[in-house]
Amino acid sequence: MQVMTTQFPSLSPVQKKELSDIAQRIVAPGKGILAADESTGTMSNRLQKINVENTEENRRTFRDLLFSAVDPNCIGGIIFFHETLYQKSDKGVLFPQVIKDKGIVVGIKVDNGTAGLNGTDGEMTTQGLDGLSGRCAQYKKDGCDFAKWRCVLKISDACPSALAIAENANVLARYASICQQNGLVPIVEPEILPDGDHDLLRTQYVTEKVLAATYKALNDHHVYLEGTLLKPNMVTAGHSCPKKFTPQEVGMATVTALRRTVPAAVPGITFLSGGQSEEEATQNLNAMNQTALHRPWKLSFSYGRALQASALAAWKGKAANKKAAQDAFTSRAKSNGLASKGEYTAVSSADQASMQSLHTANYVY
């Protein structure tokens, strides 16, 4: 006989309070996350585009450029890659210390990348659970207070399959449970890729199914929701969808999907930017925060490319360009800080006008 309803508390009230406080600090009003956790391989992609060699020193220099300029008024947390956690600033201070001294929370990517799910149409799960508890304990000692783990799903005729949804939800819940045991707030990231020609409604439908499974798994694994954050995709049409949708439609579809699946106990939702441009990511976040539906969680950002693209392009690996790069970064950070409060005004009035005229009233999502 299966009895599942005896409680064996996984966290003490003190542990819960610590996790809840960390989460609240990260998504304090007007703040979001800088996702600076690009792996070595991913940094290669970024640096190659600006003709910079992918060396450890270049990676250090670029992160130093960002971290020395980062404004704690709009950045509540920064996600690190393992290597970066142990690198130092130009002044010889360990990066986590630099960040902490600014009052920003330090986070760490803890997954070990995707692995194939046999018998599926190219779907994946994510690995990294082995020894995760010990790693989390060490990261906590080394200054981290939150973690990130990315799962990936895709939309096609056959995907996502029931297995992919269930497996990724489960592995996210295991990761979250282990993090909390070690005082780390888990950011739960079930990314649904924007590749494909599907429309907005299809993404919304799939997002609702994926998030419902995610929160059922978190509940099954006794995860303390008040001490977590969610990092989902926005609900957008596929990249090759012929129909275009406005930020208002993206906002409405996204907030509707979240309202149907994400319990109010979750303190904040920090969107990934996926393949969006910097401006697109800001406008969409702004539209979320202006949607006329009640939103009981903070809606903010956890952006990588959407915060760094201009900075990288301005930097080009040259010390002389450092200030220009920092200004570009700071500008995006400020814009997204405003967008997280629904107070962002698009740069050109033409953008504003075009957004308003395409607003679709009344559709019930």
Residues assigned a catalytic role: 189, 231
CA–CA distance, 106 with 95 (Å, rounded to integer): 9
- 116 contacts another protein (rule: CB under 8 A): no
- 359 contacts another protein (rule: CB under 8 A): no
Identify the burial level of 349 via C-beta atoms within 10 angstroms of its C-beta, where 0-12 means exposed, 13-18 middle and 19 or more buried: exposed
Contact with another protein (CB under 8 A) among 50, 69, 129, 212 = 212
- 118 contacts another protein (rule: CB under 8 A): no
Q: Is the Cβ–Cβ distance between 141 and 112 less than 8 Å?
A: no
Handedness of CA 25, 27, 30, 35 (dihedral sign): positive
Contact with another protein (CB under 8 A) among 69, 201, 313, 355 = 201
Contact with another protein (CB under 8 A) among 47, 104, 159, 328 = 159
Contact with another protein (CB under 8 A) among 82, 216, 316, 341 = 216
Which residue, 189 or 226, is less far from another protein as judged by CB?
226
Q: Alpha carbon 116 to chain centroid distance?
A: 23
CA–CA distance, 302 with 36 (Å, rounded to integer): 10
- 161 contacts another protein (rule: CB under 8 A): yes
- Closest separation in Å from C-beta 363 to another protein: 7
Q: Is the Cβ–Cβ distance between 187 and 230 less than 8 Å?
A: yes
Q: Is the Cβ–Cβ distance between 29 and 267 less than 8 Å?
A: no
- Closest separation in Å from C-beta 28 to another protein: 16
CA–CA distance, 312 with 329 (Å, rounded to integer): 9
Site string (224-243) toward another protein, x via CB under 8 A: -xx-----------------
Residue 108 pairs in a beta bridge with 80, 147
- 213 contacts another protein (rule: CB under 8 A): yes
Site string (20-49) toward another protein, x via CB under 8 A: x-----------------------------
Mention every residue, 6+ apart, whose C-beta is less than 8 A from residue 56.
83, 87
Which residue, 24 or 44, is less far from another protein as judged by CB?
24
Q: Is the Cβ–Cβ distance between 334 and 61 less than 8 Å?
A: no
- 174 contacts another protein (rule: CB under 8 A): no
Contacts of another protein in 255-294 (CB under 8 A): 256, 259-265, 294
- Map tokens 């920092």 to a residue: 326
Cβ-based neighbour number of residue 177 at 10 Å: 21
DSSP states of 40-57: HHHHHHHHHHTT----HH
Contact with another protein (CB under 8 A) among 75, 110, 155, 230 = 155
Contacts of another protein in 302-341 (CB under 8 A): none
Applying CB under 8 A, the residues found at the interface with another protein are 1-5, 7, 13, 16-17, 20, 155, 157-162, 165, 201-202, 205-206, 208-209, 212-213, 215-216, 219-220, 225-226, 256, 259-265, 294-296, 363-364
